[in-house]
Amino acid sequence: MAIKALIFDFDGLILDTESAEFQSWQEVFAAYGHELSIELWADLIGRPRSYFDMYAYFKQLTDMAVDIEQLRRAQRARVKELILRQPILPGVLECLGAARELGLKIGLASSSGRRYVCEHLERLELFHFFNATMCFEDTTEHKPNPGPYQAVLDALGVSPREAVAFEDSPNGIASAHAAGIFCVAVPNPVTLRLPLDHADYCTTSLAAESLPELLQRIERLLP
């Protein structure tokens, strides 16, 4: 069956927001003499913010009289500062352009909030590439459950076997697989340290090979 659609994650796949988030929290914990482990952070990647209250965890761990609202404002400002420094990840723009030229449908499946995702896509001049964008508010389930990907499939009008997902995290890969979609892992500097071998194919970057070459490789791997 021919591939008709590509579905992209956002955080860590299109823009390296995950390195920014992780760095900002590492700085917060270090300022109070603690360390934020990559093991804990790995379980949060790809999930909505409501899954885990990092501020409550920080307060419990430090056991100090910390003004959480002040901390929240400072940490979010630091994240925004770091994210705005990040370029579009290598190969993303070329991949989206090639998909458009090939007549493929393009979707986005994210567990982040719609305003956050769309504002960045607009800022980066990428929003117009997407035929469907499904975010935290659009589904009743969130990664690693299949809901986000199923919502995009429905919006694009394609079957799981007609789509390819691009993900950077274990939770994202699990979500795509749960929806029955072939998944390509594209790690970023944070998720490079995480187990991604359950993906159907792993590449170092979307710039590693052209989209036609990648699609030919994928079609040979499809069952």
The string of DSSP letters for 7-36 reads EE--BTTTB-HHHHHHHHHHHHHHHTT---
The mean pLDDT value of the chain amounts to: 92
3-state percent helix, strand, coil for the chain, nearest multiple of 5: 50, 10, 40
Q: ω before 144 within 30° of 0 (cis)?
A: yes
Q: Which tokens is 178 given?
A: 């749960």
Instruction: Say which range, 35-39, 42-46, 199-203, 219-223, has the weakest mean pLDDT.
Output: 42-46
Element (H, E) at 164: strand 163-167
Strands (E) located in 95-136: 105-109, 132-134
- Residue 52 · residue 41 · CB < 8 Å: no
Euclidean distance between CA atoms 221 and 182, whole angstroms: 9
pLDDT in tens, 137-187: 999 889 999 999 999 999 999 999 999 999 999 999 999 999 999 999 999
Contact residues for 218 (Cβ-Cβ < 8 A; gap 6+) = 3, 164, 182, 184, 200, 201
Check if 200 is active-site: no
Q: At residue 15, does pLDDT exceed 90?
A: yes
Strands 105-109 and 182-185: unpaired
Active-site residue, selected from the candidate residues 11, 16, 168, 200? 11
- Residue 72 · residue 184 · CB < 8 Å: no
Phi/psi at 207 (5° precision): -90, -5
Q: Percent of the chain scored above 90 by pLDDT?
A: 71
Residue owning tokens 């823009």: 15
CATH class of 5-16+91-221: alpha beta
Check if 11 is active-site: yes
Q: What Å distances lie between residue 67 and 4, 24, 70, 71, CA to CA?
A: 50, 17, 5, 6
Predicted local confidence at residue 64, as pLDDT: 67
pTM, 2 dp: 0.89
Euclidean distance between CA atoms 160 and 52, whole angstroms: 30
Active-site residue, selected from the candidate residues 9, 16, 168, 200? 9
